[in-house]
């Protein structure tokens, strides 16, 4: 599955960002989100494309990759606009899943028959599948070592409940 994630929307939903953050703190929060997502998808076949608003960016930037997570900045537009275009341009939109709390983006995903997740549903799904994947994997000596983001993962597990996946 290819997930199109509204980056700042997800950051706000999980408490990594707020509207009054200075640019430097926002950049650090963005890196923290991308690191967490990269850790969560390690060893998986799912593709995460995180789209950030970039209306005020001084220049366009190409799609980049952060530890396996694809990152796009919507130059001179909103992430919502770019996500809608990505859905419309995909020859097989049913292979996509949209992650946003924005009703406009979610409706665009529904119309194209994409999977649709709220930010909270996506985090719950990602954490649940990561736990299940780890439980089914054979143990290695490395498995007993704590991961760098264990505390963050536990904190997110406490914050979010397990709602049903909506389509």
pLDDT of residue 136: 46
Which of 52-61, 105-114, 147-156, 158-167: highest mean pLDDT? 105-114
Tokens read off for 89: 């341009």
Q: What is the CATH number of domain 2-134+144-159?
A: 3.40.50
Domains of the chain, residue spans: 2-134+144-159
Q: What is the mean pLDDT of residues 127-154?
A: 53
Predicted TM-score (pTM) of the model is 0.77
pLDDT of residue 68: 95
Question: Could you report the per-residue pLDDT of 108-125, keeping only the tens digit for each?
Answer: 999 999 999 999 999 999
pLDDT higher than threshold 90 for residue 163: no
pLDDT of residue 144: 37
pLDDT of residue 106: 97
Distance CA 98, CA 28 (A): 24
pLDDT higher than threshold 50 for residue 11: yes
């Amino acid at each position: 599955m290819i997930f199109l994630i509204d980056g700042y929307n997800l950051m706000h939903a999980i408490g990594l960002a707020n509207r009054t953050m200075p640019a430097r703190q926002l950049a650090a929060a963005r890196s923290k989100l991308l690191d967490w997502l990269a850790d969560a998808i390690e060893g998986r076949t799912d593709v995460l494309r995180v789209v950030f608003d970039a209306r005020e960016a001084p220049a366009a930037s190409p799609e980049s990759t952060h530890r396996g997570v694809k990152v796009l900045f919507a130059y001179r537009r909103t992430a919502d606009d770019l996500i809608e275009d990505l859905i419309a341009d995909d020859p097989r939109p049913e292979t996509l899943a949209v992650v946003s709390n924005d009703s406009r983006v979610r409706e665009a995903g529904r119309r194209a028959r994409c999977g649709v997740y709220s930010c909270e549903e996506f985090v719950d799904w990602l954490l649940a599948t990561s736990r299940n994947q780890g439980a089914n994997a054979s143990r290695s000596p490395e498995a007993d070592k704590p991961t760098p983001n264990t505390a963050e993962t536990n904190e997110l597990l406490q914050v979010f409940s397990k709602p049903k996946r909506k389509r």
